[in-house]
Amino acid sequence: MSATPIIAQKSPFPTDVEAGETYFWCACGRSSKQPFCDGSHRGTDITPVKWEASETKKVFFCGCKSSANAPLCDGRHSKL
């Protein structure tokens, strides 16, 4: 089954990340562990996006799943 991403929330998820750590961002919007993948994309053709933090800091992961700079928010949630 193919599927389009669903909006988890129309705002980003502020998240503290650690340098060198790898994160799997939920691209499908179905995870209950937002902004990260929990396997709920199974059955769709959407897969999570692997992202490695280059520094320890707070980032804003896209919650609307429409960012052109995924997995990070690019501000377009404000136009949804």
The residue ranges that bind ligand FES (CB under 6 A) are: 11-12, 26-28, 30-31, 37-41, 46, 48, 62-64, 66-67, 73-77
In terms of C-beta distances under 8 Å and separation of at least 24 residues, what long-range contacts does 34-41 make, across chains too?
34/8, 34/9, 34/63, 35/8, 35/61, 35/62, 35/63, 35/71
**Residue 4: CB minimum distance to ligand FES, A:** 12
Query: 16 or 80, CB closer to ligand FES?
Result: 80
Query: 19 or 70, CB closer to ligand FES?
Result: 70
Query: 17 or 46, CB closer to ligand FES?
Result: 46
Cα 21 from Cα 3, distance rounded (Å): 29
